[in-house]
Structure 1
Amino acid sequence: MTKLAKRGPGTLLKLVLFIQLGFAVMLFGSDLVRVLPQAMSPSDAPQLTEPLRPGDQTRRFNPAQVPAREASPNSRPLPNTGDMPSRLLFESVQWEGRDVVTMTGEIQPGDATRFDDFIDREGAPEVVFLNSPGGSVTDALVIGQTIRDMESETAMSDADVCLSACPYILAAGTTRNIPEGAWVGVHQHFFGENIALPAFLAVEDIQRGQGDVMTYLDQMGIDPLVMQHALVTPPDEIYLLTQAELRTYHFLPEIADDNAN
C-alpha cells in the first residue's frame, strides 16, 4: 500500500487541489505576462480614425472598438448597421446580379466550421464581402482555403475593415477588390491558448504558426514579406497597408504602365 493510500482520501484530495491551484497560478501568471507590458506602456499611436500617410501607418487598435464608417452609395451588398458582431455573421444575398456572401464580425474559434455548414446550405458564392476586425488565425486560414477551393472572389467596400487575421481570408480570393478607403491591416497575433506550456515550447508553437501563415500566403499568390509589418507591430496596434503596398504584396494587381513598350 502506498503512503498516499495509507494517509486516506483527504490527503489525496488536498494533493489534487494543490495541483489545480498550481495550474491556475501558471495560467494567471502567463496572462499577466501577456497583458502587463501593454498595461504598463499602452500604445501612444494615433487613433484608428486619424488620416493615413505613407510612413505613418501604425494606429491604436482594439477589435471591440472599431468605429463604423459611412460607405459610398451602392458600394456594399448590405447597409452598415454600425454593429460589429462578436463572431462572424454570414449572409447570402444577390447583388448586381451575382451570388454574394457577406462576412461580418470578429473571427472566433469554430467559425470555420460554421462557414462550411453555411456553404453546404447556401451554396458557393461568386464573391465574399469582408468586414472584420480579425480574431482566430487558425479559423481565418481554414476559411480562406475554403474560399479558394470555391474559386470565389473577395471584396470590401470603401468603409469596410479587414484587420489582424482577416487579411488571410481576403488573400484567398481569386481576385480581390479593395477600394480606396478600405482598411486592411496586420499585427502580431497568437496562434493558440497554450499559455501553460514551457516558454521554449510556446516559442516553437508561434514559429510554426508564422511558418504556416507564410506558406499559406505564398500559395494564395501573396508576397509573404507582408509579414514584416505584422511581426514588428504589437497586438494593441495595427499597421494599415496603403494601396501601393497592397499592390506591392499582390493583394491588388500592379497598375499597367501605359508608356511601356
Structure 2
Amino acid sequence: MSLLSRLDPRSGLRYVLILQLAIAGVLMASDVLGVIPSPFKKRVQLPTGPITPGDQRREYRTDRSDPSLLPQDGPLDLPVPEAFPSRLDFTVQEVEGLGRVLLLSGQIEVDDSSRFASYLSDMQEKPDLVALHSPGGVVSEALSIGKKVREAELASAVLAGAMCVSSCPYILAGGEDRIVSLRGLVGMHQHYYEQPRLIPVVFAVEGIQKGQGETMQHLIDMGIEPALMLYSLNTPPEEIYALVEDELVDTRIATQIID
C-alpha cells in the first residue's frame, strides 16, 4: 500500500507542517551548538543499481547522471548528455512518435526561466513536447519555468534514459500532459536552503516555510497532489527518492506512463 493511499489531504498537510517544525528544531540546535563533529555519525552507504519498489533511495549527484539506475532494456527515445551542463541547455529534435521535442538538459540556474521564455518565443514552430533531463537547481527558477510550460499549453516528459530530480519535477508539473517513461527517473529530496551563518533562526525558518508554501501552491495550481512533498521532506538533501509507477500516478505528477 502506497504512502498516499494511507493519507487524506488534511492529514498530509498536517504531516508537512510537523516536518517544518522539525526542520526549525534542527536549525535552532545548529544555531546554538554550532558545527560539532560527531564520532557516532556514519555516512549511510546507499544502494546502487536500478530502482525497484521499496529500494528507491540513491546518492544525489549534480555533475552527471547515472545510467546504472535505469533499466537498460531498450533504445533511448532521444540522446541525452551523461554529464549535466552547468545551466539549462535547449535543443530541438524530431522524435518518431513524439514529434518536435524541446529538450531542457542541465542544472537549473538563475535567469534560466527568462532564457527559456526567450528561446520558446523565438521558435518558429511550437514544440509538441518539452522533455527534461536535469539534476535540479534553483527552486524559484524551476517553478517559473513550470508555469511558463503551462501557459504555453505544452506537454512535458521524462523520457527513457533521462533523469528529472530535485527541483526539476516542478517543471514536469507544468505540462498539461505529463509523460514519464518507466526507463526514466523522477526523484525528490529536501531542498537545500543556503543561509548566512549568523542569520537569526526565525528568519531562516520563515524563508524555508515561504519557499515550501510557494512550492505547494505551485503543485496545487498545476493539478498535482500536494502530498508529493512528503517524498521530498522525508529524504535528506544528499539523497534522492525515486518515484515508482504507483507514486507517479497517485500524485498525478505523471498523467501517462510509457515503456
**Superposition TM-score tier, normalisation by shorter sequence:** 0.7 to 0.9
Q: Where does residue 21 of structure 2 map in the other structure?
A: none
Contact 2:180–2:256 (Cα < 8 Å) also in 1: no
Structure 1 residue 35 displacement after superposition:
11
Structure 1 residue 84 displacement after superposition:
1.7
Identify the range of structure 1 (201-210 vs 104-113) with the bigger mean alpha-carbon deviation. Answer: 104-113
Q: Where does residue 205 of structure 2 map in the other structure?
A: 203
Asked whether 1:237 is paired with 2:239, we answer yes
Q: Where does residue 120 of structure 2 map in the other structure?
A: 119
Q: Where does residue 45 of structure 1 map in the other structure?
A: 46
Contact 1:92–1:122 (Cα < 8 Å) also in 2: no
| Equivalent residue letter for 2:91 | E
Q: 1:190 to 1:119 in 2, by over 3 A?
A: same
Unpaired stretches in structure 1, ≥5 consecutive residues: 1-28, 256-261
Task: Return the alpha-carbon distance in structure 1 between the equivalents of residues 36 and 127 of structure 2.
Answer: 40
Contact 1:135–1:165 (Cα < 8 Å) also in 2: yes
Structure 1 residue 176 displacement after superposition:
1.1
Q: 1:198 to 1:110 in 2, by over 3 A?
A: same
Q: Where does residue 93 of structure 2 map in the other structure?
A: 93
Contact 1:128–1:154 (Cα < 8 Å) also in 2: yes
Q: 1:127 to 1:71 in 2, by over 3 A?
A: farther
Specify the SS of the correspondent of 2:92.
strand
Structure 1 residue 144 displacement after superposition:
0.3
Alignment of 1:21-40 (within 5 A): none
Unpaired stretches in structure 2, ≥5 consecutive residues: 1-29
Task: Return the alpha-carbon distance in structure 2 between the equivalents of residues 35 and 75 of structure 1.
Answer: 48
Contact 1:248–1:254 (Cα < 8 Å) also in 2: no
Specify the SS of the correspondent of 1:102.
strand
Identify the range of structure 1 (64-73 vs 89-98) with the bigger mean alpha-carbon deviation. Answer: 64-73
| Equivalent residue letter for 1:88 | L
Contact 1:190–1:206 (Cα < 8 Å) also in 2: no
Task: Return the alpha-carbon distance in structure 1 between the equivalents of residues 36 and 153 of structure 2.
Answer: 39
Structure 1 residue 57 displacement after superposition:
1.2
Q: Which has the higher helix share?
A: 1
Task: Return the alpha-carbon distance in structure 1 between the equivalents of residues 157 and 212 of structure 2.
Answer: 25
Task: Return the alpha-carbon distance in structure 1 between the equivalents of residues 90 and 253 of structure 2.
Answer: 23
Structure 1 residue 239 displacement after superposition:
0.5
Task: Return the alpha-carbon distance in structure 1 between the equivalents of residues 219 and 228 of structure 2.
Answer: 9
Q: Where does residue 187 of structure 2 map in the other structure?
A: 185
Match of 1:138 among 107, 125, 140: 140
**Cα RMSD (Å):** 2.7
Task: Return the alpha-carbon distance in structure 1 between the equivalents of residues 197 and 57 of structure 2.
Answer: 27
Identify the range of structure 1 (237-246 vs 182-191) with the bigger mean alpha-carbon deviation. Answer: 182-191
| Equivalent residue letter for 1:185 | G
Alignment of 1:145-224 (within 5 A): 145-191=147-193, 196-224=198-226
Q: Where does residue 22 of structure 2 map in the other structure?
A: none
Task: Return the alpha-carbon distance in structure 2 between the equivalents of residues 181 and 151 of structure 1.
Answer: 25
Q: 1:36 to 1:89 in 2, by over 3 A?
A: farther
Structure 1 residue 223 displacement after superposition:
0.4
Q: 1:110 to 1:35 in 2, by over 3 A?
A: farther
Q: Which protein shows a greater Rg?
A: 1
Q: What is the TM-score of this pair, normalised by structure 1?
A: 0.75
Q: 1:94 to 1:54 in 2, by over 3 A?
A: closer
Q: 1:65 to 1:196 in 2, by over 3 A?
A: farther
| Equivalent residue letter for 2:116 | F
Specify the SS of the correspondent of 2:181.
coil
Q: 1:215 to 1:71 in 2, by over 3 A?
A: farther
Specify the SS of the correspondent of 2:227.
helix
